[in-house]
Amino acid sequence: MNADDSLSTILMNQWREIRKLTYDYLDMLSPEQLGLRLPFAESQPIEYQFWCMIGAHESYLRELEHGAWQGFASSLDQFTPVTPTVIKQQMQQADARMAHLLEKKDLHAPQQNGEAAHAVVFRMIKHEMHHHGQLINLMFCHHLPIPVSWQQAWALSYEDEHSE
């Protein structure tokens, strides 16, 4: 990292790294796997994880654009059926919107609630990572393939390293 990197560049790079992991997971899913759940009644399916990730990202971007929370909404609500391709398209649209917004946004400036704008971006990153934890649980429950990037980033494998 260069000492001259702006906060928006640093945060956008962090976002791209975490979002690349999300894309790698999404790329290994079939449309049928979006319905997989954990084995308890309250579990949400894999599709829900992506619905919430997209909705939070879009909602946080609206907060940055307007200076205050505008409510939660996910663009996935307009699609039937939802497929990995649709999810990826909506994520890519939000990513492009974010890149454009962060180019011109002063992230040190306070929002209407007094919170610095960069705090919204931090929440966005933390939210995406939270859902990675949920996706890891679903991955292991259903023995889905572990993307190489997830093996490296989150030290995941199906091998029991402690057995002899």
Model-level pTM?
0.90
CA 99, 60, 132: angle at the middle one, nearest 5?
85
Place of tokens 């492009």: 96
Domain annotation covers residue 60 = yes
Domain annotation covers residue 2 = no
Domain annotation covers residue 163 = no
Residue 61: in which H helix or E strand, if any? Answer: helix 46-66
Domain annotation covers residue 119 = yes
91: nearest Cα among 134, 57, 133, 46:
57
* pLDDT tens for each residue of 91-116: 999 999 999 999 888 889 888 888 89
* pLDDT tens for each residue of 48-83: 999 999 999 999 999 999 999 999 999 999 999 999
Count how many domains the chain has.
1
Domain that holds residue 68: 7-154
Q: Is 110 helix (H, G, I), strand (E, B) or coil?
A: strand
Task: For residue 62, give the CATH number of its domain.
Answer: 1.20.120.450
Domain annotation covers residue 42 = yes
Domain annotation covers residue 1 = no
Q: At what angle do helices 46-66 and 84-104 cross, to 10 degrees?
A: 20
* pLDDT tens for each residue of 13-35: 999 999 999 999 999 999 999 99
Distance CA 49, CA 130 (A): 10
Place of tokens 């995406």: 128
Cβ 127 vs Cβ 56: under 8 Å = yes
Distance CA 142, CA 71 (A): 33
Domain annotation covers residue 162 = no
Domain annotation covers residue 164 = no
